[in-house]
């Protein structure tokens, strides 16, 4: 698939997109950051379809990461930050999985993970970075030598070389590039020509998308070509990087989507409460993931009252005065 | 006498450390309040920004996460992680970062990763996030924490973010060209670092706190020889904090 | 019989090489015309883009440089050099690049830098620009040039951009993972490369041109054993080129 | 200077900005690309003030590069492309300088130069790249060992290392970072808060600005804070990266500025004609640079007729139907 200027043949349902592109054991990157713009509808579909053994490569993908880990879809995790802001200073199912030895995991920092995606997006095998020096991020490896020998796992956590351009000895750490099998991104706009526009902060979404072999984009709104091309400086990703598009309004609920809706504090608090107990967490999955047949049903469960409460105010981008305790 | 809570004192004490024109890398929670108080009172030309890439947001409401929509609203510029972290490390900018931590040692190194063995910890925390990055790259780091013996420790369970490393010049010798720990703000007082040895010392204890209390709650020997009592929050500081910065009381609840 | 100019024939011959869905990295001049002709006739789903970062511009007028405002008008996306070149090299995309050159050798390597010694040349040209980059990274390169003995040479004065390097597998052995020279389009005909040896051969000569003429104007021995006459431009091709692609006649002037 | 939120103290005249920040022998990067958004008003001021021995680091900065070289301001040049589109397939004064041995020069490619600025902007000492392999860009150095030993000149043109993350032997070229003393950028908008917005393609301008020690921004229009902050996703450069602002309408003439004005074909043709002969080129400089006391006088010389002809059409961004032969 390259160069298609119209997207009809790349419009999928959530189930079709997951079936086509996501496989057991694949290396997966998800867009967004903690409570914002996680591709939750795709994440729920992955769980519902029983995908397993995922190798998740994350910077700070709070909510999406935690529920994938909690639902047992993840075998291996590279991560910078397993938290969800004030709603979970440490993500609860992530924490439980690490403390009970249920995960292969390895820690990096946010900048390091972002740079690794950047290197992948530039098709270069590694990139220097000045962070990590002296810390246990560089001293302690999370993965075993057996894991290291697997495909798509870096053969070393870091490398160090002497700066060949410096007269004095100067050690420079190198980070291995990431090229995930699939990246999942949620965006506000997709044009009829397939051009993707993300509003607000883009985090590492664009680097993730360009680093990945396959890219699935869910989006709030399909807009005319004339709209998306009116100001192309604002656009984020060209059509030829995208393999599947899925129209999913509120596709990142309960996380937020700038200019569309805020995070859902009631749901994030409910999640925290349910996640604290293994049994309750299974109930949560039963009610909100397995027991839900479609995204429309999910939205009916959230309810119009809440969708109106979290609706973003134009020109501000979030829901002012929302009760967020 | 004015009444105020511990976290209000912490936010204000940290806010006072910001210099006008600083680029302040803020987290959430108390550090957000400290940054905002600083900008509204002491450092009107400070620029607050977040690791997620939002520069100088309006902050009409308190963000609950560094990716909260409130950090991308009314900003000067929205970008991404690469841009944000490369800004923290930019040699022409004076960047000050606020961090939280589960543990700090006497050289200001931080643990936000785990208690116990890394591979199978007793207790797992969120991990570095951008913590290691800003500790490596910023001009200075100010850390917030509760003052407890198990938190101010001689040896970290995991060194997530490097402060003064092993003291003296050891940070520079690692290849970290600038930066280091500026201060640790706890619920009991303000800790600074000796210029040469880079060891932590008690600079100020908050009103109502004793030096002994600080020592008892610290897991290593602490130089308290130059400690003095901190100035309590002023009416103006409290008013701005309560009425302008966090009117919903999401972070600090004033005392009953 | 239809009348047409040399450069019209070249633009159309090159345009015919584009496959539907290709991402076409265009330069200015005849290559712009070739790309636009291709998109309007043979490859409606091809995407034209420029090293400067403009993707799929409207091209209602012909750009005179790759940074012409016309390459950033009506685009799908405007970005910068880093994004554009990393797109050329992206493993999931089939990217075809048009280049010009002062010299080409029998393996499709290009010189756009100088004649004579590099440090003190008899004649200096513009240099690589993005030429070396796209020759290194794209799926294939199509080169335009005037067919002269001093341009199709055995040894380049300076190897700016690598085609098949020294033939055979030598390109891959350099570490260039894909790509190579697809064709050279001259004012006399169309040159391709042998699949194994990667040596240049004459695939088509343009109507009115003889094989001998091609040989006389080539600076190395050229395999002409499979050469056939190219199909002349059709009325449709010429009409689109003249009326839609370059109505101002900025690049190709039709014959009097 | 950091963190200033209003720009009054950083508003300079062209002369003040050049006097304050540009010195003989400094390493200079200029924004724009061939016929577009070169910071010409600053370039003319540099020539007029007799700055010399510049070390110019360029990707394809056509018009600005050529006149600086022609006026004798440049001692040393790193360059990817010395052309100016159809108006000068090879820039004429550049070509003359190289052919007559008047320049220290070294060739890179456009991607390589852009990556070198990117590395500088990320504060990393080098960056890998897959281009250049096998070519004379990698085989032939332009600078002598003496030049190499000078400050701000890379100690080597390239380095090569074995990929430390690869099991098989794989050589990776490394490019040295660039951190110029000064970058000159021309933008469409500057907000009252100092935020810079460039419309249309940004080339390597942002990498150049973030890589440089000092940044001077000339701009078409000073806009209210409310305007520039209405859609911060569109903004290009934060105020704290900029050391001096100069308001210069038509500041990139005769090169183009998207949404404001097209290139001036008559002037570019005049330049080509004058540049072809040493004597005529001195006449050109006399008339258009040395003999002009202010940017206003320069614009009067260009004339309102031409300024109206090249005026960009809103929504299109260039001047449709302009005679560009």
Residue A229: which of C45, C74, C92 has the nearest Cβ?
A: C74
pTM for this prediction:
0.97
> Is D290 part of any domain?
yes
Read off the pLDDT of each residue in C142-170 and give the average, rounded to a whole number. Answer: 97
Q: Is the pLDDT of residue C78 over 90?
A: yes
Report the percentage of chain C scoring pLDDT > 70.
Answer: 99
Q: Which residue has the higher pLDDT, D6 or B171?
A: B171
Is the CB of C155 inside 8 Å of chain D's CB atoms?
no
Q: Which residue has the higher pLDDT, C7 or B218?
A: B218
CB contact under 8 A, C65 and D205: no
Q: How far apart are CA D121 and CA D146, in angstroms?
A: 27
pLDDT at residue A303, as a whole number: 98
Number of independent structural domains in chain A: 1
CB contact under 8 A, D201 and C127: no
pLDDT at residue C32, as a whole number: 83
pLDDT at residue B256, as a whole number: 64
Strand positions, DSSP E, D5-158: 27-30, 54-57, 74-79, 104-107, 126-128
Residue A99: which of B81, B121, B137 has the nearest Cβ?
A: B121
Could you list the residue range(s) of the whole structural domain that residue D102 is in? 18-160+170-309
Q: What residues of A are in contact with residue B161 (Cβ under 8 Å)? A: 135
Read off the pLDDT of each residue in B164-186 and give the average, rounded to a whole number. Answer: 97
HEC letters along chain A: CCCCCCCHHHECCHHHHHHHHCCCCCEEEECCECCECCCHHHHHHHHHCCCCCEEEECCCCHHHHHHHHHCCCEEEEEECCCCECECCCCCHHHHHHHHCCCCEEEECCHHHHHHHHHHHHCCCCEEECCCCCCCHHHHCCCCCHHHHCCCCCCCCCCEEEECCCCCCCCEEEEEECCCCCEEEEEEEEEECCCCEECCCCCECHHHHHHHCCEEEEEEEEEECHHHHCCCHHHCCECHHHCCEEEECCCCCCCCEECCCECCCHHHHHHHHHHHCCHHHHHHHHHHHHHCCCCHHHHHHHHCHHHHHHCECCCCCCCCCCCCCC
Q: Is the pLDDT of residue B80 over 60?
A: yes
pLDDT at residue C29, as a whole number: 79
- Chain D nearest C-alpha distance from B92 (Å): 7
Tell me which of B51, B199, B204, B237 is the catalytic residue: B51
Q: What residues of C are in contact with residue A210 (Cβ under 8 Å)? A: 86, 90
> Is D33 part of any domain?
yes
> Encoding tokens for residue D141?
């150095």
Contacts of C102 (CB under 8 A, 6+ apart): C111, C112, C115, C125, C145, C151
Contact at 8 Å (CB) between D215 and D185?
A: yes
Kind of pairing, strands B95-100 and B23-25? parallel
Q: Token match 């940054």: residue?
A: B35
Helical (H) or strand (E) element with B47: strand B47-49
The segments of chain D whose pLDDT lies below 70 read 1-5
CB contact under 8 A, D213 and B21: no
> Encoding tokens for residue D255?
């090169």
* Subunit partners of chain D (3 or more CB pairs within 8 A): A, B, C
> Is D321 part of any domain?
no
Is the CB of B44 inside 8 Å of chain D's CB atoms?
yes
> Is A153 part of any domain?
yes
The CA-based angle D182-D184-D186, given to 5 degrees, is: 165
Helical (H) or strand (E) element with C181: strand C181-186
Q: How far apart are CA B38 and CA D251, in angstroms?
A: 39
CB contact under 8 A, C159 and D87: no
| Domain assignments of chain C as residue spans, ordered by start | 6-245
Q: How far apart are CA D114 and CA A106, in angstroms?
A: 33
> Encoding tokens for residue B114?
């785990």
Q: Is the peptide bond before A218 cis (omega within 30 degrees of 0)?
A: no
Is the CB of B122 inside 8 Å of chain A's CB atoms?
yes
| pLDDT tens digit at each of 325 positions of chain A | 334 447 999 999 999 999 999 999 999 999 999 999 999 999 999 999 999 999 999 999 999 999 999 999 999 999 999 999 889 999 999 999 999 999 999 999 999 999 999 999 999 999 999 999 999 999 999 999 999 999 899 999 999 999 999 988 999 999 999 999 999 999 999 999 999 999 999 999 999 999 999 999 999 999 999 999 999 999 999 999 999 999 999 999 999 999 999 999 999 999 999 999 999 999 999 999 999 999 999 999 999 999 999 999 998 999 999 999 8
Is the CB of C93 inside 8 Å of chain A's CB atoms?
yes
Read off the pLDDT of each residue in B143-164 and give the average, rounded to a whole number. Answer: 97
Contacts of C207 (CB under 8 A, 6+ apart): C9, C229, C230, C232
pLDDT at residue C256, as a whole number: 63
> Encoding tokens for residue C121?
């040349």
> Encoding tokens for residue C111?
């010189």
Q: Give burial (CB, 10 Å; 0-12/13-18/19+) of D32.
A: buried
Is the CB of A129 inside 8 Å of chain D's CB atoms?
yes
CB contact under 8 A, A205 and B80: yes
Q: Which residue has the higher pLDDT, D2 or B54?
A: B54
pLDDT in tens, B201-219: 999 999 999 999 999 999 9
Q: What residues of A are in contact with residue D164 (Cβ under 8 Å)? A: 126, 156, 159, 161, 174
HEC letters along chain C: CCCCCHHHHHHHHHHCCCCCCCEEECCCCHHHHHHHHHHHHCCCCCEEECCCCEECCCCCCCCCCCCCHHHCCCCCEECEHHHHHHHHCCCCCCEEEEEECCEECCCCCEECCEECCCCCCCEECCCCCCHHHHHHHCCEEEEEECCCCCCECCCCCCCCECCCCCCCCHHHHHCCCCCCEEEEEECCEEEEECCCCCCEEEEEECCCCCHHHHHHCCCCCCECCCCEECCCCCHHHHHHHHHHHCCCCCCCCCCC
CB contact under 8 A, A156 and D165: yes
* Subunit partners of chain B (3 or more CB pairs within 8 A): A, D
Considering only residues 195 to 224 of chain B, which have any Cβ-Cβ distance to chain A shorter than 8 Å?
none
Is the CB of C51 inside 8 Å of chain D's CB atoms?
yes
Q: Is the pLDDT of residue B246 over 90?
A: no
Q: What residues of D are in contact with residue B82 (Cβ under 8 Å)? A: 122
CATH number of the structural domain spanning residue D222: 3.40.1080.10
Q: Give burial (CB, 10 Å; 0-12/13-18/19+) of A221.
A: middle
Separation of CA C36 from chain center: 13
> Is D325 part of any domain?
no
Q: Angle at which helices A110-121 and B81-88 pack, to 10 degrees? A: 120
pLDDT in tens, A229-241: 999 999 999 999 9
> Is D221 part of any domain?
yes
Do C and A make contact via 3 or more CB pairs under 8 A? The reply is yes
**Which phi and psi (to 5°) does residue B232 adopt?**
-65, 165
Is the CB of D163 inside 8 Å of chain A's CB atoms?
yes
> Is A165 part of any domain?
no
Residue C46: which of A3, A210, A229 has the nearest Cβ?
A: A3
- Chain C nearest C-alpha distance from A246 (Å): 20
pLDDT at residue B245, as a whole number: 87
> Is A53 part of any domain?
yes
DSSP per-residue letters across A187-204: EEEEETT--EE--S--BT
Q: How far apart are CA D73 and CA D44, in angstroms?
A: 11
Q: Token match 């004095």: residue?
A: A168
Pick the residue from chain C with its C-alpha nearest to A230: C74
CB contact under 8 A, C80 and D262: no
Is the CB of B168 inside 8 Å of chain A's CB atoms?
no
Q: What residues of D are in contact with residue C70 (Cβ under 8 Å)? A: 318
CA atoms lying within 13 Å on the CB side of residue D251: 25
Q: Is the pLDDT of residue C27 over 60?
A: yes
Report the percentage of chain C scoring pLDDT > 90.
Answer: 82
Contact at 8 Å (CB) between D56 and D77?
A: yes
Mean pLDDT of chain A: 96
Domain B6-245 of CATH type 3.40.1080.10: yes
Contact at 8 Å (CB) between C36 and C30?
A: no
Q: What is the CA radius of gyration of chain A?
A: 20
Q: How far apart are CA D143 and CA D32, in angstroms?
A: 25
User: Which residues of D sit within 8 Å Cβ distance of B?
Assistant: 1-5, 121-123, 191, 193-195, 210, 213, 228-229, 232-233, 235-241
Strand positions, DSSP E, chain A: 27-30, 54-57, 74-79, 104-107, 126-128, 159-162, 171-176, 182-191, 196-197, 214-223, 244-247
Dihedral Cα C231, C235, C238, C242, nearest 10 deg: 170
Contact at 8 Å (CB) between A98 and A105?
A: yes
Q: How far apart are CA A218 and CA C17, in angstroms?
A: 35
CB contact under 8 A, C66 and D33: yes
Q: How far apart are CA D251 and CA D44, in angstroms?
A: 10
């Amino acid at each position: 698939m390259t160069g298609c200027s119209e997207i009809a043949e790349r419009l999928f349902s959530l189930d079709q997109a997951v079936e086509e592109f996501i496989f057991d054991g694949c290396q997966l990157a998800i867009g967004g950051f903690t409570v914002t713009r996680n591709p939750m509808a795709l994440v729920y579909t992955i769980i519902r379809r029983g995908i397993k053994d995922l190798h998740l490569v994350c910077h700070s993908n709070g909510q999406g990461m935690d529920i994938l880990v909690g639902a047992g879809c993840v075998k291996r995790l590279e991560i910078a930050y397993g938290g969800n802001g004030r709603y979970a200073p440490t993500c609860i199912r992530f924490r439980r999985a690490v403390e009970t030895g249920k995960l292969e995991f390895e820690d990096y920092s946010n900048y390091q993970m972002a740079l690794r995606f950047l290197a992948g997006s530039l098709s270069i095998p590694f990139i220097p970075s000045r962070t990590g020096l002296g810390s246990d991020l560089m001293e302690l490896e999370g993965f075993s030598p057996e894991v290291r020998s697997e495909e798509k796992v870096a053969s070393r956590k870091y490398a160090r070389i002497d700066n060949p351009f410096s007269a004095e000895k100067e050690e420079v750490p190198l980070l291995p590039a990431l090229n995930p099998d699939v990246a999942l991104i949620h965006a506000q706009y997709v044009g009829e020509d397939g051009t993707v526009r993300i509003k607000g902060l883009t985090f590492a979404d664009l680097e993730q998308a360009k680093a990945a072999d396959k890219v699935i984009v869910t989006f709030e709104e399909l807009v005319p070509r004339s709209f998306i091309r009116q100001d192309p400086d604002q656009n984020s990703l060209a059509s030829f990087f995208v393999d599947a598009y899925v129209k999913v309004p509120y596709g990142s609920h309960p996380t937020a989507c700038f200019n569309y809706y805020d995070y859902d504090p009631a749901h994030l608090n409910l999640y925290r409460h349910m996640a604290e107990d293994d049994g309750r967490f299974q109930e949560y999955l039963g009610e909100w993931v397995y027991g839900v047949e479609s995204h429309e049903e999910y939205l009916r469960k959230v309810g119009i009252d809440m969708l109106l409460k979290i609706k973003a105010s134009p020109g501000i981008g979030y829901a002012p005065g929302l009760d967020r305790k | 006498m004015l009444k105020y809570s511990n976290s209000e004192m912490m936010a204000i004490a940290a806010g006072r450390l910001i210099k006008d024109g600083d680029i302040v890398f803020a987290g959430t929670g108390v550090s957000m309040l400290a940054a905002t108080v600083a900008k509204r009172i002491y450092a009107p030309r400070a620029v607050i920004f977040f690791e997620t890439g939002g520069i100088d947001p309006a902050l009409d409401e308190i963000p609950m996460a560094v990716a909260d929509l409130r950090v991308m609203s009314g900003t000067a510029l929205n970008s991404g992680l690469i841009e944000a972290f490369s800004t923290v490390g930019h040699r022409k900018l004076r960047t000050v970062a606020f961090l939280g931590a589960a543990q700090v040692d006497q050289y200001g190194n931080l643990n936000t990763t785990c208690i116990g063995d890394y591979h199978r910890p007793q207790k797992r925390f969120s991990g570095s996030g951008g913590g290691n990055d800003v500790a490596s790259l910023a001009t200075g780091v100010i850390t917030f924490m509760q003052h407890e013996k198990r938190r101010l420790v001689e040896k970290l369970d995991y060194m997530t973010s490097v402060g003064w490393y092993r003291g003296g010049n050891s940070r520079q010798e690692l290849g970290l060209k600038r930066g280091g720990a500026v201060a640790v703000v706890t619920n009991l007082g303000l800790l600074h670092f000796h210029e040469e040895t880079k060891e932590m010392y008690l600079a100020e204890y908050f009103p109502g706190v004793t030096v002994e209390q600080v020592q008892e709650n610290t897991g290593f020997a602490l130089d308290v020889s130059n400690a003095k009592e901190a100035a309590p929050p002023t009416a103006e500081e409290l008013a701005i904090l309560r009425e302008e910065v966090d009117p919903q009381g999401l972070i600090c609840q004033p005392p009953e």
